[in-house]
Amino acid sequence: MELNLHRLWIFLKVVEHQGFSAAAHELYMSQPSVSNQVRRLEQSLKVTLVDRSGARTRPTAEGEVLAEYAKRVFLLADEAVAAVQQVSSLEHGRLLVGGSTTVGTYLLPALLARFRARYPGVQCDVFVGNNRAVAERLQGGDIGIAVVAGGPAATGPLLVEPVLRERLVLVARSGHPLAARGGPLAPRLLAGECFLMREPGSHTRAEQERVLDSWGLTESVTRSDVWGPEAVKQCVGAGLGVALISEHAVVDDVERSGTLTILPVSPEPSPRPVSLVRRRDRLLSPAERAFVELLRSPDGIRRALGDGVPELAEQPAAGGSAAEQPVGG
């Protein structure tokens, strides 16, 4: 059985564009030539790969399987080219890192700045989304590594490695009546407050719900959904409610501008991990490997984020490299 990579590439384009004409246009080939190459691939594999009966060309069951493997083949080919180009040094290259919304907004920029200071020739790109969106990009091969709060949903061939821990803190607008009571608040004093909640699909939202349940407030508070941590902070500052939010997201608002205040509550929310996530079957590029080493280094993280970050809870595993844990097989 012969698998011609040129024909495989043409077949993949036909599947992506759902038609021979659109694929031919992208490949600068004639439609008959594209059709002939796909047919010869079918002949070599002795199966029908595309259903030509409808208005749109769709892969058969066999074609769907082959298309998934084809994506992985060409993704690996791209990785191989990048690795060969960067193998001698990290003077050039590109690093694309995913980040969950809070981590990508408040922690990842400082980490990437530290990385760029060490490897100034490497171009850094960032994709920021909630955990669900980051997991989808990882599983699809669009990004190679990500740093997220908690971990992605337990689906797909992903590895999760905790590198930090952080807490959610309860914040209110400056001058909130509860701020004047002094000392940790009993959760019952929060009954009747409006809690501003992150959007569904956010790991922070799941943590917020967990904390409210542990405080016995599930039924005694109102909720409003707000998309994104910056919007949450603005709404809190405007007096629309209180919010459980990452300690790292409110450093400037509490310590510098004074627009928000932290309401201590007893018991405190338990810390949550900040994790490095990557595909189990993907080889890391030299730039990605160098960034992973930065994340595994307590000193590297401390220099990136600064010792002055309030209650930064760094919890690397013993030996500086946390054990990798499979997520979803």
If asked whether residues 160 and 119 sit together in one domain, one would say yes
If asked whether residues 72 and 98 sit together in one domain, one would say no
Asked if the structure places residue 41 within a domain, the reply is yes
Segments of the chain scoring below 70 in pLDDT? 1, 83-89, 91, 151-156, 300, 303-304, 306-329
For position 66, which CATH number holds?
Answer: 1.10.10.10
For residues 75 and 265, the answer to whether their CB atoms sit within 8 Å is no
Asked if the structure places residue 13 within a domain, the reply is yes
If asked whether residues 283 and 148 sit together in one domain, one would say yes
If asked whether residues 155 and 178 sit together in one domain, one would say no
**Domains: count for the chain:** 3
Asked if the structure places residue 267 within a domain, the reply is no
Q: Among residues 181, 250, 244, 249, which one has the least CA distance to residue 210?
A: 244
Among 83, 110, 137, where does a domain finish? 83
Asked if the structure places residue 112 within a domain, the reply is yes
Among 262, 286, 308, where does a domain finish? 262
Q: Using one digit for the tens of pLDDT, what is the confidence trace for 134-149?
A: 888 888 888 889 999 8
pLDDT value at residue 98? 94
pLDDT value at residue 1? 58
pLDDT value at residue 141? 82
Distance of CA 185 to the CA centre of its chain: 34
Asked if the structure places residue 72 within a domain, the reply is yes
pLDDT value at residue 309? 41
* 8-to-39, 42, 122, 153, 268 alpha-carbon distances in Å: 11, 10, 32, 32, 56
pLDDT value at residue 78? 81
If asked whether residues 50 and 109 sit together in one domain, one would say no
Q: Using one digit for the tens of pLDDT, what is the confidence trace for 158-179?
A: 888 888 888 899 999 998 999 8
Q: Evaluate if pTM is beyond 0.85.
A: no
* 274-to-144, 145, 204, 288 alpha-carbon distances in Å: 17, 13, 12, 18
Asked if the structure places residue 314 within a domain, the reply is yes
For position 198, which CATH number holds?
Answer: 3.40.190.10
Using alpha carbons only, give the angle 41, 43, 46 rounded to the nearest 5 degrees. 110
pLDDT value at residue 83? 67
Q: Which domain holds residue 304?
A: 91-166+272-327
Phi-psi sector, 241: left (phi>0), alpha (psi -120 to 50), beta: left
pLDDT value at residue 131? 83
